[in-house]
Amino acid sequence: THADEETRDALRKRFGILFQSGALFSSMTVAENVALPLREHSHVPESVIDIVVAIKLQQVHMLPHRDKLPSQLSGGQRKRAALARATALDPELLFYDEPSSGLDPITANSIDELILDLTHKLKVTSVVVTHDMASAMRIADRAIMIKDGRTLRMGPRAEFEALRDASPDSLQSPEDRILHQFLVGSSEALREEGERGEFEKLIVGK
């Protein structure tokens, strides 16, 4: 971008990112990690930063762990702490990179619920990148399925749910059959020889 530093700084404040690994600074406590964006990108006094940090940690149920280092946290707790940091500047957009990656099913479900809760309470737009189809169907209002950088299907969640729940025999097009396989996690071969290749040639451009 050719934007000046002031413009770029203003844009950075409009979105927050939850990285796949959490990306917490290992030498900082949870509270210090959450405070970092406020110290770097705002001019509020430390007394106000302390209050904001407490609020953000409370929103993700991490306030009792504020003085711990990342190494003292579980995987789910690290994701929650990183999410508190991502919301520190009250962004308009939240980007999530594989939020359930590396988590057990129960913890992954709790992170999904937290994403939905924060999206509603903070009135933000959440963009979630995930390979977990169950998670995607819990979180999404609209979904985009991408393969090799190309969009295969974009639409409301109900459209993907209907495709997931359909009988394979009822699906007429190669596109629908392959999307169904992705949604249900099936590894069965397509019925017609070469059908996958023809579909990818048409949709993915191979």
Question: Taking the domains of the chain in order of start, what are their residue ranges?
Answer: 12-140, 157-203
What's the pLDDT score for residue 191?
A: 47
What's the pLDDT score for residue 102?
A: 85
What's the pLDDT score for residue 204?
A: 43
What's the pLDDT score for residue 85?
A: 95
Q: Is 3.10.20.30 the CATH number for 12-140? A: no
How far apart are alpha carbons 167 and 158 in whole angstroms?
16
Cα-to-chain-centroid distance, residue 158: 19
What's the pLDDT score for residue 201?
A: 46
* Residue 4 DSSP one-character state: -
Residues (pLDDT < 70) of the chain are 1, 186-206
Comparing C-alpha atoms, which of 91, 90, 65 is closest to residue 76?
65
What's the pLDDT score for residue 205?
A: 43
If you average pLDDT over every residue of the chain, what do you get? 84
How far apart are alpha carbons 113 and 111 in whole angstroms?
5
Comparing C-alpha atoms, which of 134, 103, 183, 137 is closest to residue 83?
103
